[in-house]
Structure 1
Amino acid sequence: MLVIQQTSKLIDECDQCVSRFWQMREEDRTPDFFQEVKPHADEIHQLLKVWQQEANKWIQKNRPKYMHTQQIASVVESMEQFVVQSFYKETSKKRFLDAIHSTSYTLKIFERLVKEGEKDAIEETND
């Protein structure tokens, strides 16, 4: 899977986390950790691990002015936390939503940079 596809999947996961958060509050239930939370968190953790490596390679190769490996690490750390938190109604709403907003913003900026980088590469080969 390409870094752009992985990034898009992570952006979708941010939206799903918000939906899940509201759904769990509405249903007023506690999920089964080993049946619901852990399998999903493990899947996202694996995707984040691969994405972080690919994103860091892309940053080292393309050297974008406003995107750094520290931001990628911050996205990974934040997502690992809020993916699990999204299953629990006790999660602090403001902190949770702020973390998702910040992470989603960084992911969208990175996605835009990768897309622009691909356009530049295509234009260079056509010259």
Structure 2
Amino acid sequence: MTTDMHAVAEEWAERYARAWRAGDMDAMAQLYSEDCVHYVPFQGIKRGRKAIRQMLARYEDSEYPEVRLEIVLVEGDRAYAEYWVTCVHPERGKATIAGCNVVRFDADGRTDRVRDLIAITPGHFPLDGPWTQS
């Protein structure tokens, strides 16, 4: 039986975006395999779901009025995803988060490996990029 990786990637994106909108970092962490490796330039490598959950703690206590996550390309067991998020943190204020991930999935459809290129800037900026083009 062949796994439809496009369906796996789209389901992952929907669940990830839903968890982010809700500020549910526990649900977000559950989308990673137990031994996932997550790499972010200048922030290093996080190994394992527990380390991923600790990394996500910085996003707790925020509201997320806008979350966009789009699967752009799927090839083999990997997907390329782009995201655009606005958030409001009670102490740090408004920010816009944008980036892209290369995600590899395991047999259960969980994130096994991630390369995450992320930019966070103060303030809310209007959505741009592929979502605004017709």
Normalised-by-shorter TM-score class: 0.3 to 0.5
Q: Larger % of strand: which? A: 2
TM-score by length of 1: 0.33
Q: Which has the higher contact order (CA 8 A, sep 6+)?
A: 1
TM-score by length of 2: 0.32
Larger radius of gyration: 1
